[in-house]
Amino acid sequence: MALIEIDNLVKHFPVRGGFLNRVVGKVHAVNGVSLAIEKGKTLGVVGESGCGKSTLGKLVIRLLEPTSGSVRYEGKEITGLSHAKMIPYRRKMQIVFQDPYSSLNPRLTVRALLKEALKLHRVVPPKEQDAYIEELIRTVGLRPDAADKFPHEFSGGQRQRIGIARALSTKPEFIVADEPVSALDVSIQAQVLNLMTDLKEKFGLTMLFISHDLKVVEHFCDEVAVMYLGFVVERLPAENIHDRAEHPYTRALLGANPIDDPDDRRPLTVLQGDVPSPFNPPKGCPFQTRCPKVMDRCRREMPPLEDRGEGRKVACWAVEDESPMKAEPAGAKA
């Protein structure tokens, strides 16, 4: 059963200019994305900076309002709900931000930070809050005395653990992790990822894990959705992603990753050209300006998200398919 269902979600940001500050255009941040996340599963969303990953995550939990489209939680439409009616869902849906320092109020101790959420959502009675906070802090691998310290007294990895504790404080079912380890040292990234893996299993969490690192996603996620210029261009199981990926963009991302084996001298893949401007995206396939397999059809038509079997879907005219399974319109549910 899908816990989260995203249907044709669109987000365009207005661009203003001129003497009267009128709307002169729009930035196409998310373009008709449709995804479903099964309960207890982790969906990884990958792509280059500016592809719309973080915007998608904020749309799902209503930190941003969509231009169009819908989000359903356990089959119930939450798009357009008032602030008061969203409060029960906000308890169930939390987010871990990329920058652990700027997402924490520097004027509050850890105890005060966590109590804000506990009071708002009435998670535990007031007399039990201190004990609950200390247990939360132990759960994320910090000492109980951390509760009375300020964010600046911690390292980056410790601050991210506090961010994770804050997300867990409301006993959520669904968490958006927005590049939670990208701002951390490599030596700390593995520790935080292992912690999140343990917490996911312990609490039965469903997650949307946003990253630009396919190696991290392959290790942590059950499925992967690849975004480019606001579109989902491929979705596939995270296991053995190197063998299953078919879209030229996904293959390029994989080829750009450093190779673990020092004896493997394959050259890294370097995509030519820049990502087109989301203010004026190209007609047809969004990847056409950088694709090594581009055809005339790619410049005219947006490819559908085609079912390739074994849980794989690809939106690419150039991908050969000897036995097509099912073609869905652009923006169809991945």
pLDDT digits 0-9 by tens, 199-255: 999 999 999 999 988 888 988 999 999 999 999 999 999 988 888 899 999 998 888
pLDDT(167) > 90: yes
According to DSSP, residue 145 is labeled G
The pLDDT > 90 percentage for the chain reads 66
- Sequence-ordered list of residues with C-beta below 8 angstroms from that of 84, at least 6 positions apart, any chain: none
Q: For residue 275, what pLDDT is reported? A: 81
Q: How many CB atoms lie within 10 A of CB 8?
A: 17
Output the six-digit token pair for 281. 């995206």
Distance of CA 323 to the CA centre of its chain: 32
Name the residue with higher pLDDT: 101 or 174: 174
According to DSSP, residue 74 is labeled T
Output the six-digit token pair for 296. 């005339």
According to DSSP, residue 310 is labeled T
What type of residue sits at position 24?
A: V
Q: For residue 181, what pLDDT is reported? A: 87
Closest CA to 177 of 127, 220, 237, 140: 220
Model pTM? 0.90
What type of residue sits at position 253?
A: L
CA distance 192 to 154: 15
